[in-house]
Structure 1
């Protein structure tokens, strides 16, 4: 070791599963990752400590160095650690004292303090059209329906209906079919790190449906809701139509600027997209996530986590969700199969704290009851047979190829004329225009060539950002991706 460099004395025992081979469902990478992550969150490895080199830890735990490298890279991408050439790997996550408070014995991990009085329902709030479209460069930031295997889906529907009884077709559980909720909970436990059960899951039509139910069930007229700036316009409008006072909070390079929440201590709800912020694409650091959870607990506030596209991470495994860190159960987690399979499916879900579940279900049963039984049965079978995870893998590969084709065309046709961010995951990335560019004028010139671009400033409320555009690419063919990227590169090269 170089003089002057000291490593943290990592006294953690080798993960038990590595001694006799990893148990079913857990790879060596997962075991090592979980061991180091839990040690960081528990301050067994304090902030600022230097981890052993990958070579040393590999030797100590009987692993290949490549396995440890992958784990360190994953921890780095999730901001648990920082890696600097010549300085090694150091813990960067700062864990608040409150997070270390033990959960009382016998308390369900989703149990929380008694709720406030139920809020009165308000008139329905319909979110606006997001204007995303299949095959339209560069508004195609949604799942590509052409990738979805319709013959296999048809067989699942037929098989599911054949197994269903008449009673099931007539009497759907308002929270969703138990078989589907169990499959969703199982997926979330295995792949998203959420310790939930079927009872914690409500089946809905999508994420905006979840936002609307929460807004009309939890918020009172005049309640303050903090949203990301820039952010998702539909969420802002849903909360405003529910009578809330919407407060934009700037998004920085590490996610929502949580320190600014202290100026809004009376906030009832905070809405975030922490995995791949919409629209900037930044990932909320672990330190910021823990700050947000600590703030929510201290101020008796709720946090809605919109996990709209984080399954599609092109660097490593999908990032752990905010809800997986939520020991005090302040987070309402929302997800959607419309984002992962096809937009017309209209099946989403929410993981809801126990004291909110009754309020949400009462409103949902009054306004619509539940998602269609046929779709629920087929989706439950799709998940149980492993077809959902298989589809995610093939779709992730296809989307990455399209992203790479666009980035390659831009690099070849307009070198030095732009920068990109948020391209590590999701359905879109942000392309930052040359300094001094007129964002609106650039979008207008693009429209004349057949490119529909959305300027980043159109998604800002109060924050002022440099000129940039949002590039959605997942629902394009490879030919469309390449051709449109060449057109975009030409516009960048010709811009002043």
Structure 2
């Protein structure tokens, strides 16, 4: 027998695991002997020849098991010296020893989000994920990854993949009337991420940020976190009352396509007045275009950004509102003077979108699947809206139903929002009072009705219950 190949004096009995699978069984037996110190650190393993004779397996089976132990760091194989157990086994690097057995505490269950939820009547102001074609999405992600190869997974694109930004810019030119190019687009994880970037990059403590009243609560809170003074501007039938905008404000946040939550469209005259104010005050306008894809009666107005000859509008959009909530991909169209500071903030916070989702969206947009999905989902949401309005009949007043994912239901005179929401909860309905969205403005009692993430059967069943409450 050659030097270093003599059998170890340590007897390793044939393990029972060999009967299930010889190579895996041999590996598990040797690894177990190392971990329980039957083979202590520094000891030499028997030669594969002698162990093969003892265990009645082929030498090749044991060579494969030895190679695996070597690759995982359990043993060292040196020509002429045999195979020896490493001084420090791998588990000692990743598992700290326990001085005593500590009983594990029970895990507290996650509490459901108390805000907007899918399939909860009538707080479901979000897209219906069941309408999304998962097979097409899977093909788009696979095709995108296979087309670009591993290089794109290593490249750093803080603003988002150039291909995705080009597709977004093309979509905005075709469907939102905007003249923008790919280098103006920054990919985000959604509207709130965009607002956070804007607050961090544009606002300084003490600045005035104007918001709609009633309006989108997260915008108000994010601007306040940046140290801004919040100035609430009332909303009228034509949208934001631009006559009340202060000259000293730093920015104004608006939802011109479908005001959140009242649902009216900002009139053209007020859009022009808003842009004129921004130019005079050297201020920025933040356009939240969160659900402009869904209009049920007429074609939508072009985006406010399309009128922005002075480059004062920061446009925010999101795929989370028209594909599915868990996607977490949005975008901004940023004025050139703000682009560098926005990217610095984005890199510092580290909030970026994964390459696979971006590549999937590139293919989804390029193939036309996105526009096809919008057409199909728009028809489905219109049918659900019509079914709900039919359940309510003509005995109630609604507004904002011409577009978007929700409308406002105005309550009968003398009915309080809190009392009505409590009675609705008793019959399984979750309603949000309009007063929750107001800052200083006092409006008649009303509730927000979300319907898009409900099935037709749910809408008809719960719609009748809502009608009975009215």
Instruction: State the TM-score, normalizing by the size of structure 1.
Output: 0.71
Q: Runs of at least 4 residues of structure 1 off by over 4 A?
A: none
Q: State the Cα distance separating 1:435 from its structure 2 match.
A: 1.5
Give the conservation status (yes or no) of the 8 Å contact 1:224–1:245. Answer: yes
Q: Distance in 2 between matches of 1:444 and 1:236?
A: 27
- What corresponds to 2:417 in structure 1? 439
For residue 461 of structure 2, the aligned residue among 479, 483, 489 is 483
Q: Which of the pair has more CA radius of gyration?
A: 2
For residue 228 of structure 1, the aligned residue among 191, 212, 220 is 212
Q: State the Cα distance separating 1:316 from its structure 2 match.
A: 2.4
Give the conservation status (yes or no) of the 8 Å contact 2:189–2:351. Answer: no
Give the conservation status (yes or no) of the 8 Å contact 1:423–1:430. Answer: yes
- How many residues end up aligned between the 2 structures? 358
- What corresponds to 2:139 in structure 1? 155
- What corresponds to 1:360 in structure 2? 342
Q: State the Cα distance separating 1:130 from its structure 2 match.
A: 7.3
Q: Please, which runs of 5 or more residues in structure 1 have no aligned partner?
A: 1-128
Matches for 1:443-482 after TM superposition, within 5 Å:
443-482=421-460
For residue 317 of structure 1, the aligned residue among 288, 291, 299 is 299
Q: State the Cα distance separating 1:271 from its structure 2 match.
A: 0.2
Matched, 1:386 2:364: no
Q: 1:6-65 CA distances to partner (integer Å, 9 max, x unpaired)?
A: xxxxxxxxxxxxxxxxxxxxxxxxxxxxxxxxxxxxxxxxxxxxxxxxxxxxxxxxxxxx
Q: Distance in 1 between matches of 2:308 and 2:348?
A: 30
Matched, 1:398 2:380: yes
For residue 422 of structure 1, the aligned residue among 372, 375, 400 is 400
Give the conservation status (yes or no) of the 8 Å contact 1:144–1:476. Answer: yes
Q: Distance in 2 between matches of 1:166 and 1:402?
A: 43
For residue 288 of structure 1, the aligned residue among 253, 266, 270 is 270
CA distance 1:201–1:273, change in 2 (3 Å):
same
- What corresponds to 2:233 in structure 1? 249
CA distance 1:204–1:130, change in 2 (3 Å):
farther
- What corresponds to 2:156 in structure 1? 172
Q: Distance in 2 between matches of 1:130 and 1:387?
A: 32
Matched, 1:336 2:315: no
Q: Distance in 2 between matches of 1:367 and 1:260?
A: 35
Q: State the Cα distance separating 1:183 from its structure 2 match.
A: 0.2
Q: Which stretch has the larger CA shift, 347-356 or 361-370?
A: 361-370
Instruction: State the TM-score, normalizing by the size of structure 2.
Output: 0.75
Matched, 1:275 2:275: no
Matched, 1:141 2:125: yes
- What corresponds to 1:126 in structure 2? none
Give the conservation status (yes or no) of the 8 Å contact 1:193–1:320. Answer: yes
Q: State the Cα distance separating 1:131 from its structure 2 match.
A: 0.6
Q: Please, which runs of 5 or more residues in structure 2 have no aligned partner?
A: 1-112
- What corresponds to 1:24 in structure 2? none
Give the conservation status (yes or no) of the 8 Å contact 1:174–1:369. Answer: no
